[in-house]
């Protein structure tokens, strides 16, 4: 029996199955931007699922997002359990070829993507980070890592990005981090109109797709 779908948004390719990609939302919650990203992945042939770690709560205000993310971080164990359930669900829903899995994290979600790659090293084979970092011991991880980072980012200083990159390399993990000139945090999210950069977002998408398909990254 297939597991019940956890809270979240599922987008499946026309073929009915595809390589699984877990998408972890930023501190705004599971908004239309993240749902559209999942749909875009499905159109490219992937089975994409974005778990709703806020269970229906969504905001576009920084102060409220800080409150929501702080509440989530205060109960990391529950978040980890929900992510484990999401992994189980997506692996079964993705179809017969779903052995390994990719995880993509946006900002807040990047922390949990990194954490998941350590918690489930035999499942998570690819990690994509959008302007988010996190501490961790990556010696048990088996994934390859791709990162998209803003040149001017008040939330993720260059030292944090470089520190994570070096930590992953020390752990022997394949890692490719890109810094995008003239961009700020959330530059890939079109609903953040003041910082959205269509050219940089398009390039990040192309690089992500190539990475997931294990093609040469442009």
CATH number at residue 152: 3.40.50.1820
Residue 217 has pLDDT above 70, yes or no: no
Q: Is residue 218 part of a domain?
A: no
Residue 1 has pLDDT above 80, yes or no: no
Residues above pLDDT 70, as percent of the chain: 95
**Total domains present in the chain:** 1
Its domain, for residue 83, covers 8-212
- pLDDT for 100 equals 87
> 3-state DSSP helix/strand/coil percent for the chain, to nearest 5?
40, 20, 45
Q: Is residue 126 part of a domain?
A: yes
pTM for the predicted model, two decimal places: 0.95
Helix and strand counts by DSSP (H, E) for the chain: 6, 7
Among 78, 72, 12, smallest CA distance to 45 is for 12
Helices (H), 44-75: 62-73
Give 214 or 51, the one with higher predicted confidence.
51
Query: Sign (positive/negative) of CA torsion 76, 81, 189, 61?
Result: negative
Q: Is residue 1 part of a domain?
A: no
The tens digit of pLDDT for each residue in 113-149 reads 999 999 999 999 999 999 999 988 999 999 999 999 9
The tens digit of pLDDT for each residue in 140-198 reads 999 999 999 999 999 999 999 999 999 999 999 999 999 999 999 999 999 999 999 99
Distance, in Å, from the CA atom of 190 to the CA atom of 174, rounded to the nearest integer, reads: 29
Side-chain half-sphere CA neighbours of 114 within 13 A = 25
Q: Is residue 217 part of a domain?
A: no
pLDDT tier for residue 98 given thresholds of 50, 70 and 90: low
pLDDT, averaged across the chain: 94
State the virtual CA torsion across 21, 27, 28, 32 in degrees, nearest 10. Answer: -10
Q: Is residue 182 part of a domain?
A: yes
Q: Is residue 163 part of a domain?
A: yes
Q: Which two structure tokens, joined as six digits, stand for 1? A: 């029996």
Q: Name the DSSP letter for residue 190.
A: T
């Amino acid at each position: 029996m297939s597991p019940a779908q956890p809270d979240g948004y599922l987008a499946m390719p026309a073929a009915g199955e595809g390589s699984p990609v877990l998408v972890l939302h930023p501190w705004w919650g599971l908004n239309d931007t993240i749902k559209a990203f999942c749909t875009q992945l499905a159109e490219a042939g992937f089975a994409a699922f974005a778990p709703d770690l806020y269970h229906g709560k969504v905001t576009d205000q920084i102060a409220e997002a800080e409150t929501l993310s702080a509440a989530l971080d205060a109960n990391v164990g529950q978040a980890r359990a929900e992510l484990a359930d999401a992994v189980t669900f997506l692996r079964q829903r993705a179809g017969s070829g779903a052995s390994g899995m990719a995880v993509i994290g946006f900002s807040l979600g990047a922390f949990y993507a990194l954490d998941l790659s350590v918690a489930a090293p035999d499942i998570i084979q690819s990690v994509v980070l959008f302007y988010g970092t996190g501490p961790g011991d990556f010696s048990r991880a088996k994934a390859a890592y791709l990162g998209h980072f803003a040149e001017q980012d008040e939330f993720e200083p260059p030292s944090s990005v470089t520190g994570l990159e070096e930590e992953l390399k020390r752990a022997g993990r394949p890692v490719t981090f890109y810094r995008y000139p003239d961009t700020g945090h959330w530059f890939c999210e079109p609903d953040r109109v003041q910082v959205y950069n269509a050219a940089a977002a398009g390039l990040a998408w192309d690089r992500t797709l190539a990475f997931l398909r294990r093609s040469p990254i442009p």
